[in-house]
Amino acid sequence: MTTYTVCPVPADTLRALRTVDDAGRPAAPFTDEEGGAPLRCCLRRSAPGERIALVSYAPLRRWAAATGARPGAYDEQGPVFVHAEECPGWAGQALPFDNSHRVLRRYSAEGRILGGRLVAADFHAALTAAFEDPEVELVHVRAVEYGCFLYEVRRGRPVPGGADRRSPGRRR
């Protein structure tokens, strides 16, 4: 049976991003008056009135630095919403943000893209199928409308430096 773990942005990375993001810019917190922003720290939508920040994040670059992978041109950074201050993290109840079309982008242990898949329903089956390929080391779940990174899914249990220990994700 294939197991996988959902990984929000790690707590140590969030602390760094709340100071200076991966593009070298200081975080600029603001009050989200309307709510609905997809938060990558706790993998839920923001509530009206919450303090959040939009920061630039390079998930593959940070993963590669921890694992020794060399993604080359596949390294990219993009905008993500996070709480402006530390939050409890992800509760790990169900696959987050699965109520819309998503792209599952598969990566090898070297950090190379192995392919992508548009998913409209049955995310569990799509992730299981992705990890049936032994070359797939991790999967990025991305929004279709903007292409933004939502969260990472790793084979098996989280690795050191991965998901926050308080919210390690749910093993499938």
The two counts, helices (H) then strands (E), for the chain are 3, 10
Q: Which pTM value belongs to this model?
A: 0.86
**Could you report the per-residue pLDDT of 7-60, keeping only the tens digit for each?**
999 999 999 999 999 999 999 999 999 999 999 999 999 999 999 999 999 999
The secondary structure of residue 32, as a DSSP letter, is E
Q: Provide the pLDDT confidence category of residue 1 given band limits of 50, 70 and 90.
A: low
What pLDDT score does 45 carry? 96
Q: What is the mean pLDDT of the chain?
A: 88
Question: CA–CA distance from 45 to each of 37, 54, 58, 64, 90 (Å)?
Answer: 5, 13, 21, 28, 11
Given a cut of 50, whether residue 164 has pLDDT beyond it is no
Stretch 58-67: mean pLDDT, rounded?
94
pLDDT of 99:
86
Summarize pLDDT for 91-104 with one digit per residue, the tens: 887 889 988 999 99
151 forms bridges with which residues in the sheet?
Answer: 141
Q: What percentage of residues in the chain have a pLDDT greater than 90?
A: 77
Of 65, 51, 52, 72, nearest in space to 12 by CA: 65
Q: Are strands 44-45 and 4-7 parallel, antiparallel or unpaired?
A: unpaired
Query: CB under 8 Å to 53, separation ≥6 — which residues?
Result: 17, 18, 27, 28, 29, 30, 81, 82, 83, 84
C-alpha 80/C-alpha 38 separation (Å) is 8
Residue 168 has pLDDT above 50, yes or no: no
What does the alpha-carbon distance between residue 127 and residue 164 come to, in Å, rounded to a whole number? 21
C-alpha to C-alpha distance for 140 and 151, rounded to whole angstroms: 6
